[in-house]
Structure 1
Amino acid sequence: MSAIVRLTRAAVVALTFVAAVAAAFASPAAARPLPTVVLVHGAFADTTSWDGVAANLRGRGYPVVVPENPLRGPAYDAAAIEKTVAGIRGPVVLVGHSYGGAVISNVHNPNVRSLVYVAAFAPAQGEPVQLALDPVRFPGSQLVPPALQVKVVDDAHAIGGKNIDAYIAADAFHRVFAPDVSDATAATMLAHQRSIAVWANLEPSGPVSWSNTPSWYLVSANDTVIPPASQRFMAGRIHAHTTEVAASHVSLVSQPAAVADVIAAAAAGI
């Protein structure tokens, strides 16, 4: 083999190696795994409320975790979600619906790179979520008696083993909570309804994670639980990337693709 041929082959090998290295460094995003999405449900619901959104995101390749939210109070519930987040390697997009927004606001973990609020409470430090339902500043919520009911429940974490929980009356659930889903879907959601400790709405928030974490907010423009004006106020206060959807309080059920799009945008921002 001539010296020229050997030199040419060596040059080709070298150029191929350089090109491969350059390509690897030119597109680091392609080599990075997608962040894990953690979906936190709100009051009067359970993990199944996220089924449509979770399926959509998994179809896009995102790992998705849907933990149980105890619905006992922001501090207690945030500690439960913290345990879930602590077991995840890599970056996390933490998403909260309704009361779940108060919970994710109290989660502090460096792996959480983005917060997403879906028709959710985003309280300031020292503020209970009930302030966001102030009928003077933000009229329009239909989540009032007799639609809103209370009952005594067993609660191992409460003094005396009992607590007072709130829930939505069966005859008002579809009309107030989920007016834009079918009768069959509303019936399924009602069967999965979980009550929330009344104290959860009155407990002052601790230091808030949205103060130093990029946030996204999806306003439900037809919401009859958290008035849209309240949602817009909270979204502006936390300087969130804000969009709106023509949906009820349960946009995650009635329009899961729109909700998934906002979560994907938050993930892309990491």
Structure 2
Amino acid sequence: MATKPTPTVVLVHGAFADAGSWTGVVAELQNHGIPVVAPSNPLRGLASDAAYIASVASQIDGPVVLVGHSYGGALITVAGTTENVVGLVYVAAYALEEGESLGELQGRFPLSALVSNLKQATYPVEGAEPAVEVTIEAEAFPAVFAADVPASVTKVLAVTQRALAAGAFEETASAAAWRTKPSWALVAGADQAINPEVERFGATRAGATIVEIEGASHAIAVSQPKAVAELILDAVRATS
């Protein structure tokens, strides 16, 4: 019996980070001969960002496993309806239901430390009033985002973080790809950016295969890339 082609893994970063946050995971996957793409997430809105990720996936020849960290999980939930996407992996991420927003999902549980440590700024919008974007206060960044990452690294991450359009918290998901695509999820047990209960609830609702790492921060892809890569490899093997 002919084997299915190996999927390409598309790594979708979340807010307050960039594609470089996947560096260790990319290296692990490449060491296993897995094709990888880590696009730059625009972070301008759920619908537009998901459309961008869907476009990236649809232009890849062959099957794709979408991996989303944090806000990136919301994006793969929508973009995962793309025909050649065969699996979804949530890494310390939001797994939304169709018609649900980030704010609604978060509101089911006690708020994380992130909420009280956001800094607002504005950015220009052509033909409209400036819009609001948020980052994490630099002083709070290590504890909130990357408590298990060396201080020398978090100092850099804090000043290179990318802002998320505040409106993204209120946009609702137009689809829930986990209803028709198999999913896997990694819960960061000591996450201070997303309440781990939010991660567990979304993953359980999605019927995902769940792995939880006790003591892991939100920046688990940076602090424990081998563990993240292993879950992704499980998804690749299952869909190959």
The normalised TM-score by structure 2 is 0.95
Task: Quote how far apart the aligned CAs of 1:133 are.
Answer: 2.0
2: CA distance, partners of 1:53 / 1:125: 29
**Aligned Cα root-mean-square deviation (Å):** 1.4
SS of residue matched to 1:216: strand
2:139 equivalent in structure 1: 171
Amino acid at match of 1:249: H
Q: What is the aligned counterpart of 1:267 among 229, 236, 239?
A: 236
Amino acid at match of 2:123: V
Q: Are the equivalent residues in 1 in contact too, given 2:119–2:135 (CA < 8 A)?
A: yes
Q: What is the aligned counterpart of 2:113 among 142, 149, 166?
A: 142
1:110 equivalent in structure 2: 83
Task: Quote how far apart the aligned CAs of 1:155 are.
Answer: 3.8
2: CA distance, partners of 1:150 / 1:191: 15
2: CA distance, partners of 1:182 / 1:171: 15
SS of residue matched to 2:156: helix
2:185 equivalent in structure 1: 217
Task: Quote how far apart the aligned CAs of 1:138 are.
Answer: 1.9
Q: Which has the higher helix share?
A: 1
Task: Quote how far apart the aligned CAs of 1:140 are.
Answer: 5.2
Amino acid at match of 2:229: A
Aligned pairs for 1:57-96 within 5 A:
57-96=29-68
SS of residue matched to 1:249: coil
Matched, 1:129 2:99: no
Q: Are the equivalent residues in 1 in contact too, given 2:58–2:83 (CA < 8 A)?
A: no
Amino acid at match of 2:115: V
Task: Quote how far apart the aligned CAs of 1:131 are.
Answer: 1.9
2: CA distance, partners of 1:155 / 1:36: 34
Q: Are the equivalent residues in 2 in contact too, given 1:140–1:224 (CA < 8 A)?
A: no
Q: Are the equivalent residues in 1 in contact too, given 2:87–2:183 (CA < 8 A)?
A: yes
Question: 1:16-56, CA deviations, whole angstroms, 9 ceiling, x for partnerless residues?
Answer: xxxxxxxxx5xx44xx5421000000000111111110111
Amino acid at match of 1:210: W
SS of residue matched to 1:106: helix
2:26 equivalent in structure 1: 54
1:100 equivalent in structure 2: 72
Q: What is the aligned counterpart of 2:16 among 37, 41, 44?
A: 44
Structure 2 unaligned regions, length at least 5? none
1:21 equivalent in structure 2: none
Q: What is the aligned counterpart of 2:92 among 119, 124, 130?
A: 119
2: CA distance, partners of 1:161 / 1:53: 39
Structure index of larger Rg: 1
Structure 1 unaligned regions, length at least 5? 1-24
SS of residue matched to 2:140: helix
Task: Quote how far apart the aligned CAs of 1:78 are.
Answer: 0.9
SS of residue matched to 1:37: strand
| Identity percentage of aligned residues | 46
1:200 equivalent in structure 2: 168
SS of residue matched to 2:187: strand
Change (3 A) 1:54 1:74: same
Q: Are the equivalent residues in 2 in contact too, given 1:119–1:220 (CA < 8 A)?
A: yes
SS of residue matched to 2:83: coil
1:237 equivalent in structure 2: 205
Task: Quote how far apart the aligned CAs of 1:161 are.
Answer: 5.9
Q: Are the equivalent residues in 1 in contact too, given 2:138–2:159 (CA < 8 A)?
A: no
1:13 equivalent in structure 2: none
